[in-house]
Chains A and B, each alone.
Chain A
Amino acid sequence: MTTATRPALVALDIPSPPSWRRLRLAGADTATLTQRELLIWMRNPAFIFFTIIQPVMFVLLFRYVFAGAIPVKIPGGYVDFLMPGIIAQSAAFASFGTAIALARQLQKGVIDRFRAMPMARSAVLLGRLSADVVRLVVTLLVILGIGYAVGFRFHNGALPAVLMLVLGVALGLTICTVSAYVGLAVKDEESVSSFGLVWLFPLTFVSNAFVPVGTMPGWLQAFAKNQPVTIVIDEMRSLALGGPLALHAWQSAAWLAGIVAVFVPLAVRAYRRAT
């Protein structure tokens, strides 16, 4: 190499801004990206279909087509059994949008563009997840409205009803962190939407969301009874309809916190590596 003949250039030493400033800008960037993601969501017919129309179809399908074939022993009948399950299932499926949006933005170079800008590194993921919370709240409220129209009622007072919704959103957000990881790790919209999220099906359908676990064969019950979605739905049913709260509350919290603790660092790592 012949570079030694040139006088060496000394790079400028530019101090990074103080951390309070960085934190404030990170907040502003997160808010900007949250708004951006929501705007995109509202403009995208496919997203609207998956987060609203599909859950509504599920409610109607189970309420009027399958209800008669599924015996449940609770006072309000199948519709009261069904609604907490549908809410949890829809919250979980809403995470499709998270994975697909991230994979698409990565693939199209949108995220690269963001990373070459003076914005907070954390804002892309935080903005995505904040937008997901809004999306989840809207979706769950729509489903609940449909539920009311087809006969569902809360039987346990207002505060537990609100807590049930909060738990539904928490479940959805937790699964969004898993989907965020999948979207960033797979990096390809097609693959994500065709097989990246198949795990959502056993997770939601092999649970007590639509049928009592007791109707499943023994080997399946072992999984269905102990997997997080079932445990969260048990807690949601207790909140909505009345019943024991404490045990499932702890188990739900532990599961959700555990999943977040594993997948957020994984998603962050995948985000750092993806370019």
Chain B
Amino acid sequence: MVAPEGEPAGPVAGDGRQPRWDGPAIVVEDVHKSFGDVHALRGIDLAVERGKVLGVLGPNGAGKTTAVKILTTLLRPDRGRALVEGRDVARSPAAVREIIGLAGQSTAIQEELTGRENLDIMGRLYHVDAGTRRQRAEELLERFELQDAADRPAKGYSGGMQRRLDLALSLVAHPRVVFLDEPTTGLDPRSRMAMWDVIREMVGSGMTLLLTTQYLEEADALADEIVVIDRGLVIAAGTSQELKNRIGGDVLEFVVERRRSAEAAQAVRGLSGAEPIIDAETGRVSLRVGTEGSQALVETVRRLDELGIHTEDLGIRRPSLDDVFLALTGHGAADEGDVAGSRRDKRARRRSDRRAS
């Protein structure tokens, strides 16, 4: 579809011939995908309402990229179906491509070209006319704070700038649904924060966003809803609050002399419903404290002080992906060494749990 003169392509350019779609902006039903005998997706279901942000949270190899590739028409599902604004990705891929934007796991910017040239060429490939393209490029360069670097080859950009340019490229044609595959992986904390700001600003204009991430914090900061996937299956879904409640909220953590760690753990037992966990090797004691973190913190200081136990690194931290996985599955996110058999058992149990409910 070509954008009418002076108007952005995509959603705003509804020309009347576009059938209306009132369902969720993204629907995924029982999608399976295997590569040989690697079962990357084993029956995924998702739904994202228009204008919402879905965070897909999962460790390496969970199937995040595969899911994004299916939704962006780069791979066909083996089974099941996926709809983007009502358009079936397998049956009308061309119609899907008209309305989506994608920023993949590695940036697709061309390093020899300048930021502006990258944007202009993308615009041309979306068949946007020259005037609109120039205007749009200017707008995006400004929004993503790239004006100063706009006419320099992207090769010289910092990692954060390259990511921002890549994101800008995906927005050239005003997509209705945007897919970001691990938009901040590999960025330093400052650039990550900057990226979050940019993404937050992006949504809110009616755009639907699906982003994948390995960081719970990131999903928490950006997403309205989160699904957690592990080895090709959705193992939990809900708002970030719901998820955190299931995990048990924030974690109180401190380090004591190794020989006194048991004593210290005993002292904080009962501060929350959870059991303290001792890492015998480092003397680190951690305890899930829900949302009552500060109270627990004060109480911990008092009790340990009474016992004369000296602490280091005392503090409250947000739960990490590992905590999520520990809570949801009983194993850590990256714990590949787990015996395959026991994992299969867990999974079977999970499945039967779900069936029972």
- List the interface of chain A (C-beta within 8 A of B): 1, 3, 9, 11-14, 16-17, 25, 28-29, 32-33, 35-36, 39-40, 43-44, 108-110, 112-119, 275
Q: A1-B30, A108-B107 are in contact. Are A116 and B23 (CB under 8 A)?
A: no
Give B22-61 as 1s and 0s: 1 = Cβ < 8 Å from A's Cβ atoms.
Answer: 0100010110000000000001010000000000000000
Of all chain A residues, which has the CB nearest B73? A116
A113 touches B126 (CB 8 A): no
Whether B125 sits at the interface, judged by CB under 8 Å, is: yes
Whether B257 sits at the interface, judged by CB under 8 Å, is: no
Chain A-chain B contacts (Cβ-Cβ < 8 Å), number: 99
Q: Least Cβ distance of B227 to chain A in Å? A: 15
Whether B322 sits at the interface, judged by CB under 8 Å, is: no
B124 touches A32 (CB 8 A): yes
B83 touches A109 (CB 8 A): no
The interface-forming segment of B92-100, B201-209, B263-271, B309-317 is B92-100
A116 touches B102 (CB 8 A): yes
- Say which residue of A39, A109, A117 sits within 8 Å of B126 (CB atoms): A117
| CB pairs A–B below 8 angstroms (28 shown) | A1-B30, A3-B29, A9-B83, A11-B81, A11-B87, A11-B92, A12-B95, A16-B95, A28-B127, A32-B121, A32-B124, A33-B125, A36-B110, A36-B121, A39-B117, A40-B110, A109-B106, A110-B108, A112-B108, A113-B102, A113-B169, A114-B125, A116-B97, A118-B1, A118-B94, A118-B126, A119-B125, A275-B69
Residues of A within 8 A of B87 (CB): 11-12, 14
Q: Least Cβ distance of B1 to chain A in Å? A: 7
Q: Least Cβ distance of A243 to chain B in Å? A: 43
- List the interface of chain B (C-beta within 8 A of A): 1, 19, 21, 23, 27, 29-30, 43, 45, 69, 72-75, 81, 83, 85-88, 91-92, 94-95, 97-98, 100, 102, 104-108, 110, 112-113, 117, 121-122, 124-127, 153, 169
Residues of B within 8 A of A114 (CB): 125
Of all chain A residues, which has the CB nearest B354? A2
Q: Least Cβ distance of A206 to chain B in Å? A: 35
Q: Least Cβ distance of A136 to chain B in Å? A: 20
Q: A9-B27, A14-B87 are in contact. Are A29 and B108 (CB under 8 A)?
A: no
Of all chain B residues, which has the CB nearest A35? B121
Q: Least Cβ distance of B235 to chain A in Å? A: 16
Q: How far is the CA of A29 from the CA of B127 in the complex (A)?
A: 8
Q: Least Cβ distance of A135 to chain B in Å? A: 14
Of all chain A residues, which has the CB nearest B18? A14
Of all chain A residues, which has the CB nearest B10? A118
